[in-house]
Structure 1
Amino acid sequence: MPGKADIYGINTFELLTMNRLIKRLLNLFFTLIPFLSITAQKPGSQRLLIGSYTSGIVSDGIYYYQFNANGSAELISKTAAADPSFLAVALNKPNIYAVNELGNGMGAVSAYQFDKVSGNFELLNTVLSGGDHPCHISIDSKSRFAFVSNYSGGNFSVMRIEADGSLSNAIQTIQHNGSSANKSRQDKPHVHSAFISPDEKYLLVQDLGTDQISVYGLNLNNTRPVSQKPISVFNCNPGDGPRHISFHPTKPIVYAVQELTGSVTVLNFNKGSLRKLQQVNMFVKSDEKKSGAADIHVSPDGKFLYASNRAEFNDLSIFKIGQNGWLQWVGSEPTLGLAPRNFAIDPTGKFLLAANQNSNEVVVFKRNLQTGKLTDTGKRIGVSKPVCLKFVD
């Protein structure tokens, strides 16, 4: 007859082995609980990507967070990347793209397979950017092409996005020429960004070095989607230094932030042509501090405009948008850190996150939806040299 330990057909050794296995599984389960609580997205939470400068100091460059309804954030995952200073997130596809600001005249762009739930990153490939010092990337809504701006190269390149999400080598590189009034910053072209118009018929290219915003025709059904020459060119004031733009969500208006003069230009945009309506300063005219305007965004409801200023300001300018699209000064809010190169408004419009590059943290502000003013939540996201914030749909 079997002994007590063997009464169910299981001997003592098998019982001990099973107990060890159960303990290991329980330990693994309890270890994964914090991770599972994040990847199982909390009600009201959103997902946030942060790109940063690495400069050989840290190995990680792209960070993925859960951004909670109370303004706090929890790290989900991160991946190594070389100076991923600007990111683009594919719509309805599991891919993200990053420029790599490599030195010594080199520039690159990387494509990643990206699981928005788990936060898993897989590098697909890296290709040359077609110029020196790439600083901006945008992609169309169906992920057919990527448009990369090369600051020091003074040009922008177009890469085809393959079926698997990887990037081709540059299929178009369009070189700018010229200079402008500020001899120390505008001795040659410096393409700083290339934004696709909401109807995806045009590509608006901001050149800080030549003080020009060039509008190129865009046909995403063509193998070479960008017109070889611009269909129109808007000349900014000499010494302005156009850097980034933001489209109004419902009006035919484009807002351009001018890095060197610390101002915002309001432009009517109609059939590929830009017409100046207004230009406003981001600070009191008598202020003699050095300006380094950087980023610009319209709030999701189209009622307010925000623009960041680095250098000796380290603040955000706030403007109310009128019915005609013109701007009215509301005030400015310190970003509570150094060098707010980039910022983002969350899709609900309730929060504004300022990436302070030189103080290594993202400061979370609460937005007043009626006045546009900002209040510090006390919440911070500690990241080494954060320079790009992208909410993930």
Structure 2
Amino acid sequence: MTITKTEAQKLNLLIGTYTKGTKSEGIYVYELDGKSGKATYKNKATGLTNPSYLAVTKDGKRIYAVCEAEPGKGAVAAFSFDKKSGGLTLLNTKPSIGNGPCYVSIDKENKQVFLANYGGGSATAIGVNKDGSLNEKSQFIQYKGSSANKERQEAPHVHSTVISPDNKYLMVSDLGTDKINILEITADADKPLKEREVVNTRPGSGPRHFDFHPNGKYGYSIQELDGNISAYSYDAGTLTLIQDISGLPDGYNGRIWAADIHVSPDGKFLYASYRDDINDLAIFAIDSKTGKLTLAGRQSTLGRAPRNFAISPDGNFVLAANQLSDSVVIFKRDKETGLLNDTGERITVATPVCIKFVNE
């Protein structure tokens, strides 16, 4: 099939939300015009409790969403996705096993989904059938321990499960114990995860989200509790610290509540979101030879609590999900400087938590 220039400029945009106690109904689908940055509503999926964080298969035909329900009722839902209509068809749901699921990823071969259970301090692997539905095979890993911050780190709190670019390892960031647990992804359908090694972060730092550089040589961890970003060299399942740099504004002494982190598709810049009194994105230039970061600028997200943000696949736009002001703000990205400019375009949606792009 030949893709015309006009068709290539259209992107599906999926937004996961919190539904409990809000006006949101579930997962929302928009179409983003890759030229103007204007978003147009297409569809939605309703009926689930807090379908917050999302994962998309490489071909864009399957979507997975964690359902952040009360203890004992957390789950993950599998959907088929119609790119043309934006329709989401529920295939099935499975229990997360651990409490408070907050993150989901799907391996490149579409064989396993991996869940981070924040409330229970655990990780879960669930098998995937050929049609994208979830099967009965699962592996549950319970973590133990605590760390320096007695209010936030009284127990394990797993916040993300990020798959390495080679699809061989899983980075399990535990905010509660200041550890990044590295697990090997195996071909064993019953126990697909095998412990490899543990990376200790600074006590009280609280590793939250993780992202890899497109070249696969570097990885970056954002620490929720101290606001720092740790840069690592990466090789065959091993992370080696090369830099630890603050992402906070100069002189800032308020509450620290760091959130999300992403490297631009061209590998030239890293973006990190900060909530609470900051409410902005820190922008770092990446040294291509060393992987180290240098602050290039900051951009207000023009809203409250940018829990998540996403960079369009072509690198032209950055969309910031302001959870506490019910808005997604669309920025145009300067590929040379990494800096952002407000397009004036907005998506009004209650409690946006996660943004994912899918090519049409």
Say which SS state the counterpart of residue 86 (structure 1) adopts. strand
Contact 1:130 1:170 in 2 (8 A): no
Say which SS state the counterpart of residue 74 (structure 1) adopts. strand
Relative to structure 2, which stretch is displaced further, 289-298 or 212-221? 212-221
Separation in 1, partners of 2:182, 2:36: 40
Say whether 1:83 aligns with 2:50: yes
Normalising to structure 2: TM-score of the pair? 0.94
Task: Select 2:215's aligned residue among 241, 250, 255.
Answer: 250
Say which SS state the counterpart of residue 358 (structure 1) adopts. helix
Contact 1:128 1:169 in 2 (8 A): no
Pair 1:245–1:59, CA change in 2 (3 A): closer
Relative to structure 2, which stretch is displaced further, 210-219 or 119-128? 119-128
Separation in 2, partners of 1:125, 1:43: 31
More helix by share: 1
Separation in 1, partners of 2:24, 2:327: 17
Number of equivalent positions:
351
Two-structure CA RMSD over aligned residues (Å): 1.4
Counterpart code for 2:306:
P
Say which SS state the counterpart of residue 85 (structure 1) adopts. strand
Separation in 2, partners of 1:189, 1:179: 6
Separation in 2, partners of 1:360, 1:335: 12
> What fraction of aligned residue pairs are identical, expressed as a percent?
48
Task: Select 1:319's aligned residue among 280, 284, 288.
Answer: 284
Separation in 2, partners of 1:93, 1:375: 28
Report the CA distance between 1:220 and its aligned residue: 3.7
Counterpart code for 1:126:
T
Aligned to 2:314: 348
Task: Select 2:131's aligned residue among 146, 156, 164.
Answer: 164
Counterpart code for 1:316:
L
Say which SS state the counterpart of residue 118 (structure 1) adopts. coil
Pair 1:357–1:59, CA change in 2 (3 A): closer
Report the CA distance between 1:105 and its aligned residue: 4.1
Say whether 1:153 aligns with 2:117: no
Separation in 2, partners of 1:78, 1:270: 40
Say which SS state the counterpart of residue 126 (structure 1) adopts. strand
Pair 1:307–1:93, CA change in 2 (3 A): closer
Say whether 1:264 aligns with 2:229: yes
Report the CA distance between 1:59 and its aligned residue: 5.7
What whole-Å deviation, never above 9, does each CA across 1:292-338 have from its counterpart, x for those lacking one? Answer: 11100000000000000012110000000012110001121110000
Contact 1:55 1:82 in 2 (8 A): yes
Report the CA distance between 1:92 and its aligned residue: 2.4
Say whether 1:55 aligns with 2:53: no
Separation in 2, partners of 1:270, 1:57: 43
Separation in 2, partners of 1:345, 1:367: 9
Report the CA distance between 1:223 and its aligned residue: 3.7
Aligned to 2:169: 202
Say which SS state the counterpart of residue 91 (structure 1) adopts. coil
Say which SS state the counterpart of residue 194 (structure 1) adopts. strand
Separation in 2, partners of 1:160, 1:238: 34
Pair 1:126–1:56, CA change in 2 (3 A): farther
Report the CA distance between 1:252 and its aligned residue: 1.1
Q: Which runs of 5+ in 2 are unaligned?
A: 1-5
Pair 1:184–1:169, CA change in 2 (3 A): farther
Pair 1:93–1:48, CA change in 2 (3 A): closer
Task: Select 1:365's aligned residue among 312, 320, 331.
Answer: 331
Aligned to 1:308: 273
Aligned to 2:76: 109
Separation in 1, partners of 2:331, 2:123: 34
Normalising to structure 1: TM-score of the pair? 0.87
Q: Which runs of 5+ in 1 are unaligned?
A: 1-40
Pair 1:326–1:59, CA change in 2 (3 A): closer
Separation in 1, partners of 2:134, 2:84: 23
Counterpart code for 2:41:
L
Contact 1:106 1:131 in 2 (8 A): no
What whole-Å deviation, never above 9, does each CA across 1:27-50 have from its counterpart, x for those lacking one? Answer: xxxxxxxxxxxxxx7551211111
Separation in 2, partners of 1:306, 1:208: 20
Contact 1:129 1:170 in 2 (8 A): no
Pair 1:177–1:43, CA change in 2 (3 A): closer
Say whether 1:387 aligns with 2:356: no
Relative to structure 2, which stretch is displaced further, 81-90 or 297-306? 81-90
Separation in 2, partners of 1:156, 1:144: 16
More strand by share: 2
Separation in 1, partners of 2:162, 2:187: 14
Aligned to 1:96: 63
What whole-Å deviation, never above 9, does each CA across 1:224-248 have from its counterpart, x for those lacking one? Answer: 2111xx2111100001100011100
Contact 2:10 2:32 in 1 (8 A): yes
Counterpart code for 2:18:
Y
Task: Select 2:178's aligned residue among 211, 227, 249.
Answer: 211
Counterpart code for 1:75:
Y
What whole-Å deviation, never above 9, does each CA across 1:196-253 have from its counterpart, x for those lacking one? Answer: 11111111100000000011111246442111xx211110000110001110011511
Contact 2:15 2:356 in 1 (8 A): yes
Contact 2:24 2:351 in 1 (8 A): no
Report the CA distance between 1:93 and its aligned residue: 5.9
Separation in 2, partners of 1:66, 1:392: 10
Counterpart code for 1:369:
K
Separation in 2, partners of 1:236, 1:216: 17
